[in-house]
Amino acid sequence: MQGIAGTDVAKEASDIILTDDNFTSIVKAVMWGRNVYDSIAKFLQFQLTVNIVAVIVAFLGACAIKVSRSHTICTLAQQQLEE
């Protein structure tokens, strides 16, 4: 919303009010908003990727520990049966 030429109703309804009626200010405001949006999207993509990898690694680690423990228990049981 342009600040000087805009009506009071339009100013109240807008999210951003520019202090001058220069078109360059509008272009800069749009570029700034797109940059903020892109930065948020990149951050969310990074966080989701890291969290998904962390869950997969934790799951695989838990499976590996379970397999190694069950193998150890089976080995001990076999040794006791042989004695």
Residue-wise pLDDT tens digits, 44-79: 999 999 999 999 998 888 887 766 665 655 565 556
The answer to whether residue 2 sits within a structural domain is no
| Domain-embedded: residue 3 | no
Q: Give residue 57's domain range.
A: 8-82
Which tokens belong to 7?
A: 């009506």
4, 6, 26 from 10: Cα distances, Å? 11, 6, 16
Residue 1, in any domain of the structure:
no
Specify the pLDDT at position 3. 47
Q: Looking at the domain assignment, is residue 61 inside a domain?
A: yes
Could you please report the per-residue DSSP string of 20-80? S--HHHHHHHHHHHHHHHHHHHHHHHHHHHHHHHHHHHHHHHHHHHHHHHHHHHHHHHHHH
pLDDT greater than 70 at residue 80: no
> Is the pTM above the cut of 0.85?
no
In a domain, 42, yes or no: yes
Residue-wise pLDDT tens digits, 1-37: 454 555 677 667 676 667 677 788 888 888 999 999 9
Domain count, the chain: 1
- pLDDT number for residue 38: 97
Tell me whether residue 56 is in a domain: yes
**Coil, strand, or helix at residue 2?**
strand
For residue 76, being part of any structural domain is answered with yes
Give the total residue count for the chain: 83
